[in-house]
Amino acid sequence: MRQVLRHIFQKKQAYARLPLFERMRDERLDPLERLGFYPCMAYFILSFGDLNRFVLRDEREPDMYQDMVNVHSREDDHHWPWYLEDLTKLGFDIEARGSDWMNFLWGEETVQNRILTARLTELIKGTSGLERLVIIEAIEETGNVLFSAMLPLAKALEERLDTELRYCGPHHFERESGHTVDADHAALANISLDPATRARYKALADEVYALFEPWTHELLRYALKHPVSVAETDGVSGVMVRSSILAA
């Protein structure tokens, strides 16, 4: 398994160089501009709780590895309310008709969010507990790239807005960094795999990254189409001005 984990980390390094994350690290832009994609990922972030509850978790006949998956799923199935908190605190929670929000969440601008949720569900279906741990490892590494890039932006905005950003900031990052799967990483690394199984597990990880990459491109397209600007009003900097996030 050690080779599989190393393969996942190598894929992570390439994933971290995708254009979305390069933009998030661009210090020429204001931190809020670099988080301009935030509303676009709502569908997937809210669906991820259900993915943990109803797809990854299986308590019918768990083995030792599925037990680990189940524990992990309970750690990850309740983070979405923090996302909604920060949506409001960052100023993205605009007033709109419910039909406008539904059209946005199920429209063409967010299609990769829905594809990602559906295809991860398909990938997980029928897998063993150990295979699910491999999938989780790959998902966790994609998340680590996102949250690592988000963390310094959140800290700057927390100071500016005088508030805690529980999803974007340290509150979430520290919990993601302390997962059970990470704690059991050494135990996973010591699992012996035959060549065919090792190749299959690497392929599972490859598929996770292949599913997440188009999602990052969708987030970036959204950020560029719906630019965020930071203006000065009454001599106080940090007043956010943006176009409608639901505009076609």
User: pLDDT tens-digit profile of 144-156?
Assistant: 999 999 999 999 9
pLDDT digits (tens, 9 = 90+) for 98-145: 899 899 999 999 999 999 999 999 999 999 999 999 999 999 999 999
In angstroms, rounded to a whole number, what is the distance separating the alpha carbons of residues 132 and 227?
38
**DSSP bridge pairs for 236:** 233
In angstroms, rounded to a whole number, what is the distance separating the alpha carbons of residues 161 and 199?
48
Q: What is the domain class of 2-242 according to CATH? A: mainly alpha
pLDDT digits (tens, 9 = 90+) for 185-216: 778 899 999 999 999 999 999 999 999 999 99
Q: What is the pTM of this model?
A: 0.91
Position 243 pLDDT exceeds 70: no
List the domain boundaries for the chain.
2-242
Give phi and psi for 125, each to the nearest 5: -55, 125
- The pLDDT confidence band at residue 91, using thresholds 50, 70 and 90, is very high
Convert 90-111 to b/e letters by CB count within 10 Å (16 or more is b): bbbeeeeeeeeeebbbeeebbe
- The pLDDT confidence band at residue 241, using thresholds 50, 70 and 90, is very low
